Chains A and B, each alone.
Chain A
Amino acid sequence: MEQTPEYVIEMLHITKEFPGIKANDDITLQLKKGEIHALLGENGAGKSTLMSVLFGLYQPEQGEIRKNGKPVKIESPNDATALHIGMVHQHFKLIEVFTVLDNIILGAEDTKMGFLQKKDARAKVKALSEQYGLHVDLDAKVEDITVGMQQRTEILKMLYRDNEILIFDEPTAVLTPQEIEELMQIMKNLAAEGKSILFISHKLNEIMEVSDRVTVLRKGKYVGTIDTASTTKEELSRMMVGRPVQLVVDKDPAQPKEAVLTVEGLTVPSKIHKNDAVKNVSFTAHAGEIVCIAGIDGNGQTEFVHALTGLEKASAGKIELCGRDITHLPIRARSQTGMSHIPEDRHKHGLVLDFTLEQNMVLQRYYEPQFQSHGFIRFGAVRSYAEKLIEQYDVRSGQGPVTVARSMSGGNQQKAIVAREIDRDLPLIVAVQPTRGLDVGAIESVHKQLVAQRDEGKAVLLVSLELDEVMNLSDRILVMYEGEIVGELDPKKTTVEELGLYMAGAKRQGKERESA
């Protein structure tokens, strides 16, 4: 018997170019059998491109792929499947109206004279799900199950096809903390059973917890491969970003000055149920402080921000910005009074995806005299402004200002929005999950910018679901639970656990706050 090669999959010296950019430049990735191998890199470092090459979606200009030591050619996802390579995409590829079982067998169905034979398939899927601890309800429709269960369905899909090499593309981005725990356990089980896993992520905690080895990419180039056991988060982030990264932002104590935003008794009706989504919310945000609204997703934060920025109508209450009552003003007037807004949903609100980057950069300001005269757009001014922001905020894209926003990576889309909103230089910045989907380097830079804005005397209203972000960045925490502010905390005097209790509704401050 010939000796088993050390690596199941080797990608040697892969180079892949797109117009204007080398997405992968001489990258080598070697995956051992039974290991969890993390692929780490910033937004736009070339991780997804490399995996697309492995999965047959792209053809590299140079380089070789080997399986068990033998060179192979992967020209389409079908070739990849034949080589037992499976992929769980970041956005699941499931048919919503089909059952879990139907989704799993889709494309690999057993038939007898044209009739589906689901019995054997059911038994096989059942056995697999027990073997690996993948709990799914085989007869539930995909549209009715949780995101976590959808992901397990995707994993079962790969296992049902006897895949040996499993690619997970940012699998935790869509999961809740509990679901992430479960996924980590599943991945460990899979590796223990001899499956080899490629795990794409930019979340250092997860990589440290689950992976055996890490390969780091930076700006399309190979930085190195190291054993997870012999490294630290700091070292990994330095490799990824190319310089030491501060995981916690330094900031001086806040020096709040005059009130910028005063909200009194704001109430917003819900679009989903009959109750109010936001109930009688009152607070003040001052110049020179970062006020954070913390809470578990879906406790009225979205509706509150929409009412504040004018996207939705409030049914009661008063909003005062820079001394002006803006409760009934339209969106543009509010923003001109002094409010910039980093929206929660960058694809729905933040960007016109079919516009170019430069057109998006002036989305909030195209009507200002700087960018138009007599109704005609000053293209030169728009271009140079966009170039300035791209340079200053390190927004990376294939073709610079004329890149279509849709073709940019999610992290860079977010950076573009942050750049646009911060650069407006207005007294109030409403930042809703400003670091969603960003890597550590970009998170650091956004956090620094927000702190710098605070120090310049802006009021920052941060709405975040990330506990780390809430604790690190804010000067004052308001916890929102079921549409109400249930507590006001000082991040220096509170703990993550206490914050969690407020967020879960297990604890709330008494009436004295409301009267205050």
Chain B
Amino acid sequence: MKEKTPLMQRDGTRSVLASLLSILIGLVAGAVVVFLVGLFNKSMSLKTAWEGIQLIFLGIISTGRNAAGELTFGFNPVTFGNMLFRATPLILTGLSVAVAYKTGLFNIGAPGQYLAGTAATLFIALEIPSSVVPAWVIWILAFLGGMAAGALWGAVPGFVKAFLNINEVLACIMTNWIAANLVTWAFDVSNLKNTVENTKTAYIYKTSFNGVQTPKMFLDKIFPGSQINGGILIAIALAILMYIIFTKTTFGYELKACGANRHAAKYAGIKDKRSIILSMAIAGAMSGAAASLYYLAGNTEFFWSTYQSLPATGFNGIPVALLAVCNPIAVIFTGMFMSMLDISGLQLTNLTAYNEYITDVIISVIVYLSAFSLVIKLWLGGKAKKKAGAKPDANAEPAPKADAGKEAGK
């Protein structure tokens, strides 16, 4: 009764395997596309196609071409640093989706919360003159403000769900578009236009205009020449914090109980409405933090034109979370993986005749498969079960359910 479940039959193992399989199939599919494009494009040779395939898998350790024109590979501090920099917002929006999912909510509102965080961060970072207030104080205010704005924006669908029982997906979609329009309007009427760079078609907002930017925390020494800053450490810290809250604390227990069975939670005296709103607020705060850390980097630009669309970073949180099976710690790695794909795309564009849209194809395939990762997991489970000679059935005598067990993040 007490012996440990064999590694291969453990739920966590199967989750990890399923995610890795999704990723592998996605990469192979991408390689096939690269190969086919190379095959049918007259300007490309088979050699180009082979180089493309190499870059799909190894883009992150590509160091360019040598004198002979051959691709070279090795540790590349610039691409590594940039990968970590780009991973920062993805990890956080992934966390946003993952923690909501843990409490039984599907947070498709990450783009809106991200925009709310963007607006709050930029306004605070640019409106408070650094000649009066020290830049580091402004930085903290801008970061906290971004999180708070995201939290507030996330709490809206939570509120609507808790009190009016309106599905959070619907509410999130609507709040996304409200955020888009609200932010457009806010930048339009603000006086910030005068303080920032004005191009012919749009305004460019950079927090470094006001001298506010995230400290590098010595990471630029490890990855010289890259855009990296301390934001990635903050993102990782937040992921660990979320993991602790949701697995170790009574607060997390309440939120999860409420997500798994609102009625039973209520019966046990847990304030169900409060829990739903808090879950969404926490999710929103993560998306807000994603925006804050991205724009506070100093080297990033918020490009405001007449209309603000929904940021892809918000939506990309969904595949990041799904690939990680909503485990906050795993989100750190899947976030880095997604940004690695971005980098591979850039390498592909820079070093070969391919364009980076190929990586969009790969990401799409992986997103598709991440939704299937549960199916893959069940399939893996079925195989393991066949060996054990059992089959899941809720009616049966104590037979473990396929998706039951000690999932690391549960």
Contact A353 B260 (CB under 8 A): yes
Contact A44 B398 (CB under 8 A): yes
Name the contact of A367 in the complex, choosing from B250, B265, B271 (C-beta under 8 A): B250
Name the contact of A406 in the complex, choosing from B1, B404, B406 (C-beta under 8 A): B404
Chain A residues numbered 273-310 whose CB sits less than 8 Å from any CB in chain B: 309
Q: For the complex, what is the distance from the CA of A21 to the CA of B391, rounded to whole Å? A: 14
Residues of chain B lying within 8 A (CB to CB) of residue A372 = 249-250
Q: For the complex, what is the distance from the CA of A479 to the CA of B5, rounded to whole Å? A: 52
Contact B400 A366 (CB under 8 A): no
Q: For the complex, what is the distance from the CA of A355 to the CA of B259, rounded to whole Å? A: 11
Known: A311-B266, A355-B260, A377-B248. A44 touches B397 (CB 8 A): yes
Known: A355-B257, A363-B268, A407-B404. A348 touches B397 (CB 8 A): no
Give a binary string over A42-60; 1 marks a CB under 8 Å from any B CB, 0 the rest.
Answer: 0010101100100001110
Is residue A349 within 8 Å, beta carbon to beta carbon, of the partner chain? yes
Please give the distance in Å from A345's CB to the nearest CB on chain B: 8
Known: A330-B269, A375-B251, A377-B253. A18 touches B264 (CB 8 A): no
Name the contact of B390 in the complex, choosing from A18, A367, A371, A377 (C-beta under 8 A): A18
Known: A350-B264, A351-B264, A355-B257. A406 touches B269 (CB 8 A): no
Name the contact of A331 in the complex, choosing from B266, B395, B406 (C-beta under 8 A): B266
Residues of chain B lying within 8 A (CB to CB) of residue A355 = 256-257, 260
Please give the distance in Å from B150's CB to the nearest CB on chain A: 23
Q: Among B1, B250, B394, which residue has the most Cβ atoms of chain A within 10 A? A: B250
Residues of chain A lying within 8 A (CB to CB) of residue B1 = 20, 399-400
Known: A44-B398, A409-B398. A354 touches B389 (CB 8 A): no
Residues of chain B lying within 8 A (CB to CB) of residue A334 = 269
Please give the distance in Å from B10's CB to the nearest CB on chain A: 12
Residues of chain B lying within 8 A (CB to CB) of residue A399 = 1, 398, 400
Residues of chain B lying within 8 A (CB to CB) of residue A17 = 389-390
Name the residue of chain A whose CB is nearest to the CB of B257.
Answer: A352
Is residue A396 within 8 Å, beta carbon to beta carbon, of the partner chain? yes
Is residue B401 within 8 Å, beta carbon to beta carbon, of the partner chain? yes
Known: A353-B261, A354-B261, A375-B251. A364 touches B397 (CB 8 A): no
Known: A311-B266, A331-B266, A349-B267. A18 touches B250 (CB 8 A): no
Contact A18 B257 (CB under 8 A): no
Contact B257 A363 (CB under 8 A): yes
Q: Among B1, B5, B395, B397, which residue has the most Cβ atoms of chain A within 10 A? A: B397
- Describe A's contact surface by its main secondary structure: loop
Is residue A332 within 8 Å, beta carbon to beta carbon, of the partner chain? yes
Q: For the complex, what is the distance from the CA of A17 to the CA of B256, rounded to whole Å? A: 32
Is residue B405 within 8 Å, beta carbon to beta carbon, of the partner chain? yes
Known: A404-B405, A406-B394. A351 touches B261 (CB 8 A): yes
Known: A331-B266, A364-B268. A48 touches B397 (CB 8 A): yes
Contact A18 B396 (CB under 8 A): yes
Contact B263 A366 (CB under 8 A): no
Chain A residues numbered 338-363 whose CB sits less than 8 Å from any CB in chain B: 341, 343, 348-355, 359, 363
Chain B residues numbered 357-410 whose CB sits less than 8 Å from any CB in chain A: 388-391, 393-401, 404-406
Contact B391 A407 (CB under 8 A): no
Please give the distance in Å from B127's CB to the nearest CB on chain A: 36
Is residue A335 within 8 Å, beta carbon to beta carbon, of the partner chain? yes
Known: A376-B249, A407-B400. A350 touches B395 (CB 8 A): no
Is residue A408 within 8 Å, beta carbon to beta carbon, of the partner chain? yes
- Could you pull out 13 A-B pairs where Cβ atoms are within 8 angstroms? A17-B390, A18-B397, A58-B396, A309-B267, A311-B266, A331-B267, A333-B269, A351-B264, A352-B261, A352-B264, A354-B260, A354-B404, A375-B249
Contacts beyond the supplied A48-B396, A366-B250, A408-B398: 6 A-B pairs with Cβ under 8 Å: A17-B389, A19-B390, A19-B400, A23-B397, A58-B391, A335-B269
